[in-house]
Structure 1
Amino acid sequence: MILEARDKPILAMLEWIRVRLITKQYKKQKGIEKYTGKVCPNIQDKLEKLKHESIPFSATPAGNFMYEVDNGHKRHVVDLAKKACSCRIWNLTGLPCKHGISTIIKNLEKVEEYVNPCCWKETFVEIYKEIIQPMLGQSEWVETNQPASVAPHVYESPSRPPK
């Protein structure tokens, strides 16, 4: 995003980046307000894809919230109480893997209930609730007795510069 601003003077570059960040954060705040699901939209899309991939798996109950999941080629153990699978994808990502989803569906529960709280809409709203404070223009900045900052001396190399 900042490639467009890298040739500008330092203050102009920082101002350009600040405005882009304010705009991006505002769009995210307004976008998530319209969304009605429990988990973030991109996470919901991943869950829908995983639900489709979990169709060939069959889950066999082995005990309280323990399942053996098999698709004819591979076998995994899923523990719904610990929200863990032997493939370890659920442990690493916080999202149920396709094996876990097949057990959740077999248990007649909602997949969204087993997603890590970092993927919930409420967490997203909490992250983006703070705003980047607007600033006064440079003409209205308070004068200080500090010396003006000076750009460092740039040494030219003997070869042709890249840009």
Structure 2
Amino acid sequence: MSDFQESFDALCAAVPRLRDILIEIGFEKWSRAHCPARRYHYMTSNSAESMNALSNHARKIPITQLIEFFVQSVQKWFYDRRKEGIQGEHFLTPWAQKKIRGKVEGSRSWVVAGISQDSFDVDDGGKRGLVDFSNGTCTCRVWQVSGLPCGHVIAVSRFLGEPDCAHYAMPFYSNEVYKSTYVEHINPVPDKSEWEVPDGLVNLQPPVITKRQAGRPKENKRILSQGEDPTPVYCGRCKTYGHSRASCLAPPKTKTSSRTVPRPEPSTAQVEAGQFQDYVLQHTWPSYNLGDD
């Protein structure tokens, strides 16, 4: 529990507002050390990721062949683990034995003091653990949460002169439970020639398997977070949303000056010979009012 408190204080020191949020949610909902129920180890998706890695080369084959691949894999796993359980002579599985051996080496220097027939105080060099065999608990909660004896329980077992502390582990770590888990036989799928194919089935073509091109993909769109709205595309030419300026089909707008003077159309009026000089002086370009400039 002290390890949890130190980690919690360090996390809240980095993010001050996080303390109130986590306390309001409740420790039992997000902390494994405060979980009232017993659950096996950590809640992760490692099993699914392992299956994805196993079937990486078989994902694009037809579905019937993919199912046969999984059946053969599970059949091999059950056989190997069933054989391993039969050959095991210890009370616990090899995996549980390895975990306990690591804790045995780390608790050799711990000091144990008896309190009663079933209660013991263990000094582990800075932190203390109170072991109560009558209730099957330890104040560090490692024994209750993981199901394997913690270092304090192992130190008490050594203090009592017991040759092995395997009997303090939960029953689901036993070799008998391990063998019963894989006692069922996975039978292989019959040959294709022995299948009973009903009438009216449609033959499907196998999927086209294309080789990925070298280099970075052309499109690498980021997956939006939950509640995040996509940024609309804006066109600077037509001032609308839905496309960019590069793909805009609207014609470009030309800029016209408000001070541009239109050129007058040529005159086709008929003028008498005596009035020609006055007409020319009246209709020459300087006579137009071009502004104050």
What TM-score does the superposition give when structure 1 sets the normalisation length?
0.86
Which secondary structure state, in structure 2, belongs to the residue aligned with residue 118 of structure 1? Answer: helix
Q: How far 1:10 sits from its partner (Å)?
A: 1.1
2:68 pairs, out of 15, 21, 25, with 15
Q: How far 1:150 sits from its partner (Å)?
A: 6.2
Which secondary structure state, in structure 2, belongs to the residue aligned with residue 122 of structure 1? Answer: helix
Indicate how the Cα distance of structure 1 residues 84 and 40 shifts in structure 2: closer, same or farther if over 3 A, else same.
same
> 2 CA distance for matches of 1:22 and 1:51?
36
Q: Which runs of 5+ in 2 are unaligned?
A: 1-53, 206-216, 221-293
Q: How far 1:160 sits from its partner (Å)?
A: 6.0
> 2 CA distance for matches of 1:6 and 1:33?
34
**1:121 equivalenced with 2:175 (yes/no):** yes
Higher RCO (Cα < 8 Å, 6 or more apart) = 1
What is the percent sequence identity of the aligned residues?
A: 25
Structure number with higher strand proportion: 1
- RMSD value, Cα: 2.1
The aligned length equals: 155
AA matched with 1:89 = V
Equivalent residue number for residue 144 of structure 1: 198
Indicate how the Cα distance of structure 1 residues 97 and 144 shifts in structure 2: closer, same or farther if over 3 A, else same.
same
Indicate how the Cα distance of structure 1 residues 10 and 51 shifts in structure 2: closer, same or farther if over 3 A, else same.
same
Residue pair 1:38, 1:112 contacting (<8 A) in 2 also:
yes
What TM-score does the superposition give when structure 2 sets the normalisation length?
0.49
Alignment of 1:8-87 (within 5 A): 8-87=61-140
> 1 CA distance for matches of 2:170 and 2:56?
35
- Runs of 4+ that moved beyond 2 A: 143-151, 159-162
1:73-120: CA deviation from partner (whole Å, max 9, x where unpaired): 111111122222111111011000001110111122330111100000
Which secondary structure state, in structure 1, belongs to the residue aligned with residue 129 of structure 2? Answer: strand
Which secondary structure state, in structure 2, belongs to the residue aligned with residue 67 of structure 1? Answer: strand
1:107 pairs, out of 141, 144, 160, with 160
